[in-house]
A and B are shown apart, each in its own frame.
Chain A
Amino acid sequence: MRVLIVEDDADVAATLKASLTADEHEVDLAIDGELGENMALNGAYDVIVLDRMLPKKLGVSVVRDLRQQGVSTPVLILSALHDEDHRVEGLNAGANDYLGKPFSTRELLARVRALWHGRGREPLTRLQVGDLEMDLLARIVKRGGKKLDLQPREFRLLEYLMRHAGQTVTRKMLLENVWDYHFDPQTNVIDVHISRLRAKIDRDFSQSLLHTVRGSGYRLEV
């Protein structure tokens, strides 16, 4: 897919470009806000990775103006300012995700992919991965036709994983999207939640669906 990186720090930009290229994306670079906005308006990009502090035009203004001009390309804002207020400001301006610096490359790659997959999706009432089915209206989960008994939070965790089936989902993404927590737990809480969920959806079946991606997070796929 085509990714536009708008970042004024040459080192950071080069690293980002290298990682995204290695992840088989086609990458363009813009070094300031105005240039970034023009490129975003004229080029057909799948995802835009936008630094917050940019020369000429700030990242938040770029997103706001792009949205006003009808550009709906998913935008991920990168920022050293990742307190609640700043994040909310960025998301309100129209960004789809917000990642604080410093971040790990894996985290960024996972989020870029998640943004692309999540784009333009119709509101769903049913999710399916292999023989695992989720009915979002009745709030029922079945695997191989057999009903699974999930707690409300486990349901939301599974829903997020199913919506991003086939993609790597990081612990941080789960923490933010399933629990809405924006701090890093010092303990392995997320892993424990995943292993409980895994016990419910995978234990009695020969094929496991919920995989651990070493050093990154988890992936739900057949």
Chain B
Amino acid sequence: MDSKRLQRSPSAGEFRIRQSSFALFRTTTFRLALAQAGLVLAFVAALLLSIYFTTVGQLEAESDAAADGEFASLERVYSEGGMRELNQQATIRAAREGAMLYVLAESSGAVIAGDFQQLPSQPRDSAERVDFRFERPNDEGRVVRGRARGRLGRLLGGPILLVARDMSDDEAITDRITRALWTVAVLGLLLSVASGLIASWFASRRVETIASAALDVMAGDLARRAPVRSDGDEFDGLAEAFNAMLDRIEQLIQATRSAGDAIAHDLRSPLTRFRQRLETALEAPPDVDADREALRKAAEEADRLLEMFAGVLRLARVEASGNWTLQRIDATAILRDLAEFYEPAAEERGLGYRSSIEDGLALSGEAGLFAQAASNLIENAMKYTPSGGCIEVRAWLRPDGRMEFSVLDDGPGIAPGERDRVLERFVRLESARTSPGAGLGLSLVAAVARLHRGGLHLRDGLAIGERHGLGAALVLPAEARH
């Protein structure tokens, strides 16, 4: 399987995909598997060495003990019976079937009797251990090669005696053990390399599905997500976090896009009016009063545009959250001031106005933004409730420990299906297009609510017969009362 890798080409800052058939060997998983294989191999080698020395070493020690015993026994024969007796015994024992080999030689080194025609090495004065390879004809006349270990030494008075044990049978056992150990070592190595390859193949395949999702998103497919399997392993964790990030990015992009569209839409008409007004004034014959009126209207139009920009900037700043310091604020005082602030204006518009703000409401927040959010809700109700209607402003501590500030009206309300939509930036329902406002009010409230870890909820407001007005509720985590 080929591996797709992300590579940033240094010259053109663009991403492309590089195909590589050796990519698997560069994966982290494979390297880890390889390192592990090395460790396993070292462990196996140590184990095998210890097995080798305990088995093969044991065989040699036993054969050495046997050879030493035989040497000592012949030494006794010589000291008791002299050279003749030794010669006889050596010849008899050499002729016997068995693994023991004997050579008796004169002090000059010339062989007198025994299994070999010559000594494997020149003896020293004291008896010593010898280990040698030999060739000799067997009983059927065939030459056999072998290895023997034993004792070679000069006896008192000069004769040289070699007693050795033919190790050929042991050698075969040793060979079998060695072969078995090598087989195990090689198999172990192969298995760990194979398991490393398989593990890294699986791992890199999972990583690649995520990487390819990222590439697709970069290529413009914003809806693409990394697949998540159900077994909930670490790759699923990664894929889920990655997908959550993509969700957020997509949301932000959508918001920016629709904000851009809405700005373009909402700015186009006032800008066009602005331009037309100036143009008409310029084309008309000079007339101070008319010109001044045109200028005044143009200034109003410009104010509306500026207000809209200020709203967008403010909203962006609230949404960027980071820069705000939240501290304990006295919500009761702020809300009572606001309720009092708007009461005359509501009465002036012929609206019934009731407010009930509980004592001791406090929250961790930013006083200016909180006041602005609350005032947006009140103004919104005032704007959309026709004269003769009624507005109710309430604030209380809910049993769930959150405080709710709600403004209910008996105006035209918003159909339940459209309530979510009006929280988006710039959305003003078609029915509201004629009244002033940038359509940012409720989205600013929603953003302030998010900043305070709360929410803005739109519900049914006050009932008039079958119909309901709008109820807008700002629900925020409250702080304990003093």
Chain A residues with CB under 8 Å of chain B are: 83-85, 102, 104, 153, 179, 181-189, 192-193, 195-196, 215
Contact = CB atoms under 8 A, between A and B. Distances in A.
7 closest residue pairs by CB, A with B: A189-B345, A192-B344, A192-B345, A183-B372, A84-B368, A192-B348, A186-B379
A20 B337 CA distance: 36
Chain A CB within 10 A, most for which of B317, B344, B375: B344
B125 interface: no
Contacts of A196: 344
Given A85-B323, A102-B306, A189 B383 contact: no
B436 A189 contact: no
B175 interface: no
A135 B434 CA distance: 47
15 contacts: A83-B314, A104-B303, A181-B371, A182-B368, A183-B371, A183-B375, A186-B437, A186-B441, A187-B379, A187-B383, A189-B341, A189-B344, A192-B344, A193-B344, A196-B344
B338 to A, nearest CB: 9
B375 A185 contact: yes
Contacts of A195: 348
A179 B337 contact: yes
A187 B383 CA distance: 8
Nearest to A189: B345
Most buried by B among A153, A186, A193: A186
Given A85-B323, A179-B337, A186 B436 contact: yes
B307 interface: yes
B383 A186 contact: yes
B321 to A, nearest CB: 13
Contacts of B363: none
A178 to B, nearest CB: 10
Interface string B9-22: 00000000000000
B342 interface: yes
A153 B382 contact: no
Interface string B194-216: 00000000000000000000000
Interface string B363-406: 00010100110010001001100000000000000000000000
B261 interface: no
Given A84-B366, A182-B368, 17 more contacts: A84-B368, A102-B306, A181-B341, A181-B371, A183-B372, A184-B307, A186-B379, A186-B436, A187-B379, A187-B382, A187-B383, A189-B341, A189-B342, A193-B341, A193-B345, A195-B348, A196-B344
B355 to A, nearest CB: 15
Contacts of B306: 102
Contacts of A182: 368
Interface of A is mostly: loop
A83 B366 CA distance: 12
B106 interface: no
A174 to B, nearest CB: 11
A8 B133 CA distance: 104
B340 interface: yes
A5 B371 CA distance: 34
B307 A153 contact: no
Contacts of A192: 344-345, 348
The winner among B341, B383, B437 for most chain A CB atoms within 10 A is B341
Given A83-B317, A85-B323, A179-B337, A187 B371 contact: no
A169 B113 CA distance: 139
A196 B366 CA distance: 31
Interface in B425-452: 436-437, 441
Interface in B308-347: 314, 317, 323, 337, 340-342, 344-345
A211 B296 CA distance: 21
Contacts of A102: 306
A84 B382 CA distance: 26
Contacts of B366: 84
Nearest to A188: B345
Interface in B151-178: none
A110 B296 CA distance: 19
A153 B307 CA distance: 27
A183 B342 CA distance: 14
Contacts of B379: 185-187
A179 B341 contact: yes
A181 B372 CA distance: 8
B379 to A, nearest CB: 5
Contacts of B372: 183
A207 to B, nearest CB: 24
A177 to B, nearest CB: 14
A179 B340 CA distance: 11
B337 A187 contact: no
Interface in B271-312: 296, 303, 306-307
Nearest to B347: A192
Nearest to A88: B368
B474 to A, nearest CB: 16
Contacts of B437: 186
A184 B383 CA distance: 15
Nearest to B366: A84
Contacts of A181: 341, 371, 375
B254 to A, nearest CB: 26
A84 B448 CA distance: 15
Contacts of A185: 375, 379
A83 B317 CA distance: 9
Contacts of B323: 85
